[in-house]
Amino acid sequence: MLTDLFDIALVANILALLLSAVNWFVPRRWLDVLALVGLTCSVLALTGYMGLRWVEAGRAPFSNMFESLVLFAWTIPLVYLALRMRGKTVAVLAPPTALLAALLLVYASAFLSSEIKPLMPALRSNWLAFHVMACLIGYGSFAVTFIAAIGFLVASRAGSKISRETQDLLEAVMSRTASFGFLFLVVGIAMGAVWANVAWGTYWSWDPKETWSLITALIYAVFLHGRYMRGWQGRRMAWIAIIGFISVLITYVGVNYLMKGLHSYAS
């Protein structure tokens, strides 16, 4: 059953990618609707997958890179669908959203073990689910911010009236998703600090993961300060969003494999 749900999510993302890509070139309402159905099926299938894995493992399924990639692949279309529910017509972002979610699932299934293993002693805490889920929802939001930023830079090259409207929409998406992601990242860092004090006797130890999480949070703090306090707009904001997501990737992947620290077990 677990494998079936995983495969359903992967296929749903691939179908959503194909349908939304065709909708780019031959805009049709029914193609957009079917792409949304595909992304919704992906989210539902991964929700079921993580729920069943939680029951089978007897713990939150967020303890290693395979499980966190599944959670990451769940958050990205979830954030996109939340935008659509709030009336943001961002069909142009559907193909890269589906592509990124599908690539995460493909990588997880091809290169990482899906075997359910007992938790390491350091991870045996109720804080695990809250800390990891908050951070990964933040990462998923920043992924959509990154996609919107790339789209903005591409659209800004066109210079037509339609492109101006598209730029305005993408700029709004960048601001909204960066704000949402920053909130969850800060909450996740705070939860991690409390957990660290319980597990290691200190709230902050300048572990590489902690340090890069702080750097990532500061980059998006600059983004939000510039956007809402300084009135920054356009390409400057897009580039800050791109730099921020590079920091997210370093925090999420690079630290685990390239730097030794208290969070090395995540690899």
Task: State mean pLDDT over 11-23.
Answer: 96
Both 49 and 136 in one domain: the answer is no
The structural domain count of the chain equals: 2
Q: How far is CA 248 from CA 109, 127, 202, 239, in A?
A: 22, 21, 24, 14
Both 177 and 261 in one domain: the answer is yes
Both 126 and 229 in one domain: the answer is yes
Both 125 and 106 in one domain: the answer is no
Residue 82, in any domain of the structure? no
Both 125 and 102 in one domain: the answer is no
Residue 205, in any domain of the structure? yes
Both 173 and 213 in one domain: the answer is yes
Both 128 and 24 in one domain: the answer is no
Residue 76, in any domain of the structure? no
Residue 84, in any domain of the structure? no
Both 50 and 143 in one domain: the answer is no
Report pTM: 0.91
Return contacts of 29-35, CB within 8 angstroms, 24+ apart: 32/91, 32/94, 35/91, 35/94, 35/98
Each residue's pLDDT tens digit, 90-114 = 788 999 999 999 999 999 999 998 8
Task: State mean pLDDT over 202-224.
Answer: 90
Each residue's pLDDT tens digit, 109-148 = 999 988 888 877 667 777 888 889 999 999 999 999 999 9
- Which residues span the domain enclosing 8? 1-63+89-110
Both 134 and 228 in one domain: the answer is yes
Whether the pLDDT of residue 263 is over 60: the answer is no
